[in-house]
Amino acid sequence: MSRPQHFGWFLARGFGPQGWGYPALDWDYDWTRPEIYRDAARTLEQAGFDLVIIEDAPSLGSPSTIDLRVRHAFGGPKHDPLLLAPYLFQATTHLGVVPTVNPAAYLPYTAARQFATLQHLSGHRLGLNVVTDTGSARHFSAAPQLGHDEAYDRAEEWLAGIRDLWRSWDDGALLADRATDVFADGTRLRAVEHRGEYFSFDGPLNAVPFSGGDPAIVSPGGSGRGLGFAGANSDVQLALAPLNEKSVRDYRAKVHAAAIAEGRRPEDIKILFAIQPVITASSEEADRIVAASAHPDDAALVQIARKQSSDLETDLTSLDLDKPLDLSIFGAHVSRGSIQRLIGDRGDGAPLRAHLTALARAGRITDRSGFVGTAEEFADLIEELGDWGNDGVLLWGDFHPVTLHRTLDELVPVLRRRGILRREYAEGGLQANLRQF
């Protein structure tokens, strides 16, 4: 038997048009209604997943590039994942639900009250994917946009303020004592009186405390400052890194060092590596998919260009595929890291077709060049990750039933047989499940 690991699902295009742009997924589901999400949450719970994380960006991006972001629905629209969470809680019993939240968008008092309410309503199954994207700042304030590290400073102050509000009811303040007819002892509520760099507010919170731990804090930031945030605050860190032994061990060591530096224990943070597998019925099918991916047709390249145009906020779809890509088309607002991911080591003299073809290229799980393979082959990879001390895996995709079933139908029984995927949940909600092993 292998060691058990935690499984999460990352709803990668958020609470938005599921499956848009992929004709095979055109099943006329109404993405604005709760049904498709409830069905997916039930499937993930049946499969033994600990949590689902709902991606989000509150903004459609910079004013001049909004059309690029919405035209094929890669960058929006997105509805608010915090408000979807109650529907998913109601559809399930054990699954943790983790909406993405940006501290720019919620005042600490509002956030503390809403999160406390959801923690009670859900039976302690709320998590919060705390992100610090600053591009959406203009929707919330006319103040100058914060820098990258400052946004993390604000996030830390925000979270500390929220936790302070959650603890503004001292132990014993809530009595609900029918004999004396006293519901609560108001003298045991603390005023909080937070005066900080970014926020200024008073307590106490108008919500009762919860037992069994705070909502789980999830963080996806991979920068040095991001890992520092995780070390100090997170219960779960989402990792995007090559899945070889050195890279996995190095990433884990960095997060653990960050936790120890903050007086926490390495085991206080579960690290989930993000993977988007393509599970096939046979290894021959996997070989065929990988071979075909080396020769994408123009329609496949256009689809990749659309996604890149949204992510890079630069129109690649109107460019000649066979002319060298001129990097001066990318304005100063485009992340250098994202441009680098597009051009790789091909340099700026290569035609756009070469860059897009490289992105289309799939690889086999068996030689570790990619994630196309059978359920058994994928389970071998997960088992190997476990041998390197890995805590868990974040599978990545939309919430279309076809995507979920293609990924999970054969994989779940294989992972269960090998003892990698849980069959039963702990009592006590998301934190209890995360701490079970």
Ligand X SMILES: Cc1cc2nc3c(=O)[nH]c(=O)nc-3n(C[C@H](O)[C@H](O)[C@H](O)COP(=O)(O)O)c2cc1C
Dihedral angle of Cα 348, 349, 355, 356, to the nearest 10 degrees: 110
Whether 280 and 399 have beta carbons less than 8 Å apart is answered as no
Structural tokens at position 175: 């009595």
The backbone torsions φ and ψ at residue 409, rounded to the nearest 5 degrees and listed phi first, read -55, -45
Query: Would you count residue 112 as binding ligand X (CB under 6 A)?
Result: no
Binder among 83, 240, 253, 261 for ligand X (CB under 6 A): 240
Region from 49-57, 173-181, 285-293, 379-387 binding ligand X, contact rule CB under 6 A: 49-57
Buried b / exposed e over 9-20, threshold 16 CB at 10 Å, is bbbbbbbbbbbe
Enumerate residues 6+ apart whose C-beta is below 8 A from 266.
Answer: 255, 256, 259, 260
Q: Least distance to ligand X from the beta carbon of 317, Å?
A: 24
Whether 196 and 247 have beta carbons less than 8 Å apart is answered as no
Binder among 108, 226, 228, 397 for ligand X (CB under 6 A): 226
Binding to ligand X in span 262-281, by CB under 6 A = 274
Whether 403 and 22 have beta carbons less than 8 Å apart is answered as no
DSSP state of 295: S
Query: Would you count residue 311 as binding ligand X (CB under 6 A)?
Result: no
Query: Would you count residue 126 as binding ligand X (CB under 6 A)?
Result: no
Enumerate residues 6+ apart whose C-beta is below 8 A from 375.
Answer: 279, 410, 411, 413, 414, 415
Query: Would you count residue 222 as binding ligand X (CB under 6 A)?
Result: yes
Q: Binders of ligand X: how many residues, by CB under 6 A?
A: 18
Q: Least distance to ligand X from the beta carbon of 57, Å?
A: 5
Q: Least distance to ligand X from the beta carbon of 188, Å?
A: 36
Binding to ligand X in span 319-378, by CB under 6 A = none
Whether 337 and 148 have beta carbons less than 8 Å apart is answered as no
Region from 20-28, 38-46, 55-63, 176-184 binding ligand X, contact rule CB under 6 A: 55-63
Region from 183-191, 220-228, 261-269, 385-393 binding ligand X, contact rule CB under 6 A: 220-228
Query: Would you count residue 100 as binding ligand X (CB under 6 A)?
Result: yes
Query: Would you count residue 132 as binding ligand X (CB under 6 A)?
Result: yes
Binder among 73, 82, 112, 131 for ligand X (CB under 6 A): 131
Binder among 133, 170, 268, 380 for ligand X (CB under 6 A): 133
Q: In a 3-state reduction of DSSP, which class is residue 109?
A: helix
**87: number of CA atoms within 13 Å, CB side?**
17
Query: Would you count residue 103 as binding ligand X (CB under 6 A)?
Result: no
Rule CB under 6 A: which residues touch ligand X? 10, 55-57, 100, 129, 131-133, 148, 220-223, 226, 238, 240, 274
